[in-house]
Structure 1
């Protein structure tokens, strides 16, 4: 009995530390996003942004990307993982999976959380209204505004939220960490692809990552409050 109480106390302590760590990360990233947005609006990041984009192009022809042809094709394929079509399909499949496992509250929460994040992304783009980069040729077609990067933000919101929710369903530590790590990796390479393809400034991607991370952290907090422990859903 004493051993059980000690074990439960240790679990509670680890959970509390995780909550505070997540809160700290969210606060720091939110502050970074606020400062970055201010710098972008004032035009302070333009030299850095354009320098990075030009560095990724042929020195004699800014229309030609640096590196072999297969790298460009790979970046086009990777960037599709952050598109609305792929993300919507992925969310739909995960929600169906959760429903089949009779995790109806979790399925509903995932749907509302991700759709809310997507709406926020659109609102930020319209509110800030930063034009797309013009210093290099775009390697894929784009139509909307530039800051924050929708692909970076939506992939952070979607993959990080799904990673956090799926990890709650697992008992084994290896699988609990696997889903968030995969989410971070996918979010990272999708953001890099947007810079390489010349459709976003680096600060657009940083802003998208930051906004998506803050939203995902907030979703994690709300999930703990609304859904309780995994065993209770």
Structure 2
């Protein structure tokens, strides 16, 4: 009879793969709801709540702008180039290339999804500032999930203590959540845009991390 410990190394990748598949299904279902307009009531209620919050507490808008900037194209690009450069410098060239491919392909898919679904952003009267482009899924939420979770997982894997790993993963998750929430708080995205971005970005990051793990084990 096969020793149960023989299968233990397969459990985590299997669970991660199932989680990525589940998140992909969530994204597809949410996209369908958005296209049919079934999320508009939920989205609108949060839009009004965010507007009221900014009106009652003017400092919120400034804080949210700063948090939103963490998920901007410029910041994420600089972060990615620096991190991939470091990976290549320490000899992890394959991982560096895979991460770069993951992030570039995710950005291309987000642009494709925005065009495909054609969701308009909230009205200018409800937004803190004008943001160009289409809305679903949120590029900030999607790409911050891909970038922060990918590098967070890679960094955590280099630590042996569980508490250190959980802290790093928690910090990466926290950054991802804060960027997404800031977009809703500023009124430049519907909440469904951000939820879709988180679902897609997390699934994409997990999938590419599994690919990197598989290739590294060959």
What residue in structure 2 maps to residue 70 of structure 1?
A: 59
Map Cα deviations across residues 9-28 of structure 1 (whole Å, 9 max, x no partner).
85x65432211221221122
Pairing 1:52–2:46 present: yes
What residue in structure 2 maps to residue 36 of structure 1?
A: 30
> In the aligned structure 2, how far is the partner of 1:71 from the partner of 1:14?
47
Is contact 1:54–1:135 with CA below 8 Å preserved after alignment? no
Map Cα deviations across residues 102-123 of structure 1 (whole Å, 9 max, x no partner).
2211111111111111111111
What residue in structure 2 maps to residue 93 of structure 1?
A: 82
What residue in structure 2 maps to residue 159 of structure 1?
A: 148
Q: Shift in Å at residue 172 of structure 1?
A: 3.3
Unaligned runs of 5+ in 1: 1-5, 59-63
Is contact 2:61–2:186 with CA below 8 Å preserved after alignment? yes
Is contact 1:136–1:198 with CA below 8 Å preserved after alignment? no
What residue in structure 1 maps to residue 175 of structure 2?
A: 186
Of 186, 189, 213, the match for 1:197: 186
> In the aligned structure 1, how far is the partner of 2:8 from the partner of 2:180?
32
Q: Shift in Å at residue 92 of structure 1?
A: 1.2
What residue in structure 2 maps to residue 134 of structure 1?
A: 123
The structure with the larger Rg is: 1
Q: Shift in Å at residue 135 of structure 1?
A: 7.3
> In the aligned structure 2, how far is the partner of 1:90 from the partner of 1:103?
17
Q: Shift in Å at residue 185 of structure 1?
A: 0.7
Question: How many corresponding residue pairs?
Answer: 216
Q: Shift in Å at residue 49 of structure 1?
A: 0.6
Question: Aligned to 1:130, what secondary structure does the other structure show?
Answer: coil
Q: Shift in Å at residue 210 of structure 1?
A: 0.5
Q: TM-score, normalised by structure 2?
A: 0.91
> In the aligned structure 2, how far is the partner of 1:226 from the partner of 1:93?
23
Q: Shift in Å at residue 133 of structure 1?
A: 0.8
Of 139, 148, 154, the match for 2:137: 148
